[in-house]
Each structure stands twice: as structure tokens, then as C-alpha cells.
Amino acid sequence: MKSRWLILVLIVLAIALPWFFYDWGHHRHAGFLLSMLSQMGMMVILALSYNMLLGQAGLFSLCHATFFGIGGYAAIHLLNAAGTGDLPFPMEVMPLLAGLAGLALAILFGAMATKQRATAFAMITLGIGELMATAALMFHHFFGGEGGVTTNRMIENSLFGLTYSSGLQVYYLILAWTTLAAVLMYYLTLTPLGRMANATRDNFERAQFIGYDPRIVRFLQFALSGFFAGIGGGLYAITYEIVTFDALAAPLSANALLMAYIGGTTVFGGPILGAILITLLQSGVSLLSNSWLVYVGVMFIAMVIFAPTGLAGIVKAHGPIKHAGRMGSLLVPYLRLVIPSLGLLLGFIGLVELMSFLTIGAAQGKKLVLFGGSIDVNATLPWAISLGSFLLGGLWLRFEAAGFHRVWENLSAEVRR
């Protein structure tokens, strides 16, 4: 019940957010915010559809961007056709058509890939992803080579009479489709297919015994996730009016994985959280630091080792304790974690920034500004402080974490009783 309110708040916030930053003096919207929010919308679709495989069906796919990209290319060509008047489809259904393109390709590749599971599935999807990325650079007719294909989104054919000349209109289109796709994907988890996907993930032999063919379940799940990824790709094409081979290359597939996993694959909303967080990091931290991917990578590895349920999973784990009204007794242990974690974090950031500045930053001729002050990279002091804070924080955190773990275990046992 509560999560419904959360979703409603999220949607209202997404609708209202551009107006908070409206520049009344010049009567225009904050362009950076709008493009970031639009990007978030697409990434939410990508991450959620990826989680249909990783989280719900236990399939580690490495070619998810293929379907996102093909949706993008399809939308570009459809928009071009619509622009010349050859295609009587309004703008609002373009993402749907892009999704169908993704679906078609996912049916084709899914028939091959879903014959396998686990590692072999990962390998076959790796092959498919690389195959498509290489092919995209090779065949200029459809993919446009390295330059990509461009379009003009003002096709003057809209259900609501919109021109889509402004970023705000495009953003609301993205928001509408994102909400629709997310709702559909949520209800899909409640269908027999969604349940069987979970069953084949947990124990595919038992699912076989009951009389289901795990391969069919995997295939349907794969095809549908390709459909949703295609919708995301269509929105990408409409927003940027250009699709290059980046939209279907391996880094985007990896991004989908990172977003879904960091957000949490065990909770439906997890990937939404992950997509928002990673996009924020991408557009925020990447302006400040060259090495934002290090942070994302380390965060990912730390998640794999320490919190395989992701951020949403951590929040969910507090459920029983909160239900018993014992959240208060976790406050002090949490506060005790703060200082050592901060030490570890700041030390790590310091080390990474100093190190990357020595090579990459210096080559760009910038000055290193860290924590508000200009810092000389060649001096010993910043290195020593960072290293000391990193090591001290790490050791201290280890000690505190053990204590926290004890408190947590006791509390969980108490609540269970």
C-alpha cells in the first residue's frame, strides 16, 4: 500500500521537477536538468527491462544494449519516413514501433541464446552483442557507420497537436512512456510467466518437473525484455535525434547491468533507483572528476561482495525491524559507522583523484581542485593524508562493522521471535 504512495509521489515529482528550476526571467527551462531527467527516463526503462533477465529470470545477459540500439535505429528510420509523409504514424506511437523492432530482434536472438542458461547464456549473448556492434560499424545502409543516422523529430504528426520542438514536450513524452512501460513490467511480474521466470531462476529442474519448459519461459522473458529495451531506444532516438553505434555497443550493456545490480535486482523498484543514481553520478560526478567510472566500478564490486541484494535490498532488509518498531536501536550503531566510512571514502577519493591527476589530468593541463582547495599533486602531504585516512578508516570500519553485524543479528533474532 505504502509503495503505491511512493510511486505516486515519484511521478508527481517527475512532472513538477522541471518547473522548480524554471527560469522565469528568460521564460525557459533549465536545459541541463531536462536532458538529465530525459536520460534518466530512458535508463529507467533500460535497467528495468534488464532486470527482467538478471533479477527475475536469473539470466546474465551481455547484449541488452543490442535491443535498445535496434529500437533507436528503427525509430530513426521510422521518423525519417514519417517526416517525408510516407508513414502515417503519429509521434506518440513511435516508441511502441521501436519496441516492436526490439521484440523482433529479441525473438530472433532469443531463439538462439535461451537454449542455454547460466554461463553459456552469458557467453552466447556476449557473442551476439559483439556481433551486432561490429556489424553496426560495417553496414552503412542501416546503421550509418561511425557517424550514425540522424533525423528530425518535428514530423508534425501528433495525437495531441504537439510539435516536440522543446525539450519539455519530449521529456513529458518520455515520462509517459517510462511510466507505462514500468507499470506493464510490474504487472508482468505478477503473471504466470513472471512467476515461472522466478521459478526457473531458483530451481530450473524443479520447474521442469512441474511440467514447464524452462526454455520457453526464458525465451518469452528474453523477447519481452527486448521489447521494453526497444521502447527505451525509441525514446533515445527521439530525444537526441541521432543514433550511433554507441547505442548498441557493449558499454551500454554493461551500464544496464550496473544500474540494475547496484539498485537491487531482488526488488522491482531497485533498478529504478539504480538508474537514477547512476545517471546522477554520470552527469554530476563526471563533470568534476575524470575517474567517475572507478567509483562506479568499486561500488559495483563492493555490492557484489557485501550486498548482493543491492541498495533496494538493503532498504528492504530493514522491513521486519521497522515493523517491530525497533529502528531506534539501530541509530547508534549506524552513527558509529559514519565516521570511519567517511574516512575510508574521502581517503579513497583522495587517492584516486591524486593518482588519476598525475596521468590524465596533467595531460589536460588542469589544476587539481579537491575538497575546495587547490592541491599540489607532487607534494607528499596530500598523498600521506589520503593514504592514512584510507587505511585508518578501513581498519576502523572493519572493527565497527563487526560490532554492527552483532547488533544486527541480535535484533533480527529478537524481531523474528
Q: Would you tell me which residues interact with other proteins (CB under 8 A)?
A: 54, 58, 60, 112, 115-116, 118-120, 122-124, 126-128, 130-131, 134-135, 138-142, 250, 254, 257, 261, 291, 293-294, 296-298, 300-301, 304-305, 308, 352, 355-356, 359-360, 363
Rounded least distance, CB 381 to other proteins, Å: 20
Q: What phi and psi, each to the nearest 5 degrees, are found at residue 376?
A: -85, 120
**Which residues are bridge partners to 28 per DSSP?**
23
| Nearest to other proteins of 43, 132 (CB atom) | 132
Rounded least distance, CB 354 to other proteins, Å: 10
CB 13 within 8 A of CB 5: no
Rounded least distance, CB 401 to other proteins, Å: 14
Rounded least distance, CB 84 to other proteins, Å: 18
Q: Measure Cα distances from 86 to 43, 157, 166 in Å.
A: 31, 12, 24
| Nearest to other proteins of 96, 293 (CB atom) | 293
| Nearest to other proteins of 174, 207 (CB atom) | 207
Q: Measure Cα distances from 298 to 23, 265, 295, 330, 389 in Å.
A: 38, 18, 5, 26, 18
Per-residue DSSP letter, 61: -
Rounded least distance, CB 330 to other proteins, Å: 25
- 242's enclosing H/E stretch is strand 242-243
| Nearest to other proteins of 83, 145 (CB atom) | 145
| Nearest to other proteins of 140, 206 (CB atom) | 140
Amino acid (one-letter) located at 153: R
| Nearest to other proteins of 22, 300 (CB atom) | 300
CB 404 within 8 A of CB 333: yes
CB 99 within 8 A of CB 231: yes
CB 260 within 8 A of CB 51: yes
| Nearest to other proteins of 8, 120 (CB atom) | 120
Rounded least distance, CB 244 to other proteins, Å: 18
- Separation between Cα atoms, residue 255 and residue 214, nearest integer Å: 27
Residue 24 CB contacts under 8 Å (≥ 6 apart), including other chains: none
Task: From 107, 51, 99, select the one nearest 238 (Cα to Cα).
Answer: 99
The three-class DSSP label of residue 369 is strand
| Nearest to other proteins of 22, 295 (CB atom) | 295
Rounded least distance, CB 239 to other proteins, Å: 26
- Separation between Cα atoms, residue 301 and residue 309, nearest integer Å: 13
**Which residues are bridge partners to 243 per DSSP?**
149
- Separation between Cα atoms, residue 91 and residue 162, nearest integer Å: 9
| Nearest to other proteins of 287, 331 (CB atom) | 287
Q: Measure Cα distances from 344 to 32, 348, 386 in Å.
A: 32, 6, 9
* Cell numbers given for 30: 533549465
Rounded least distance, CB 60 to other proteins, Å: 5
| Nearest to other proteins of 177, 261 (CB atom) | 261
CB 127 within 8 A of CB 248: no
Rounded least distance, CB 228 to other proteins, Å: 21
Task: From 307, 351, 327, select the one nearest 407 (Cα to Cα).
Answer: 327
Per-residue DSSP letter, 63: -
Rounded least distance, CB 301 to other proteins, Å: 4
